[in-house]
Amino acid sequence: MEDEEIMKLLEVVENECNIDLAHRIMAEKNGAFPIIVRCLKHYQKNSSLRDQCLKSMAALIQGYPDIVTHEGIELLCTVLDEVKAIKLCLSNRNHFYVY
């Protein structure tokens, strides 16, 4: 599957999960959380797909946190730490230039 197709599918999951709890339950009954976790693992270094995975996951677990697994929490922490480190490096990069 192409990245564009995956992006569109993740957007559909996010939009459907944002409708209401019944949609989130249906998504989870169809295996959404483990699929999003696998997708996030695979696309951790692709910022646009990673961010969409995070948006889809956030929409899915909103008001329905029982579905979050230990693996999912560890992955979220890892990804968020990496993003934080990248942003810190980028913001500090400008401070090291001497003219």
Q: Region 58-79: what's the mean pLDDT?
A: 91
Instruction: Quick: pLDDT tens for 73-90.
Output: 999 899 888 877 777 776
The CA distance from 38 to 1, in Å, is: 14
Instruction: Quick: pLDDT tens for 28-41.
Output: 999 999 999 999 99
Q: Region 55-74: what's the mean pLDDT?
A: 92
Per-residue pLDDT at 92: 64
Per-residue pLDDT at 80: 86
Is residue 97 predicted with pLDDT exceeding 50?
no
Domain ranges of the chain: 3-96
Share of the chain above pLDDT 90, in %: 68
Q: What is the pTM of this model?
A: 0.82
CB–CB of 39/49 below 8 Å? yes
The CA distance from 73 to 67, in Å, is: 11
The answer for residues whose C-beta is within 8 angstroms of residue 78's C-beta and 6 or more apart is 44
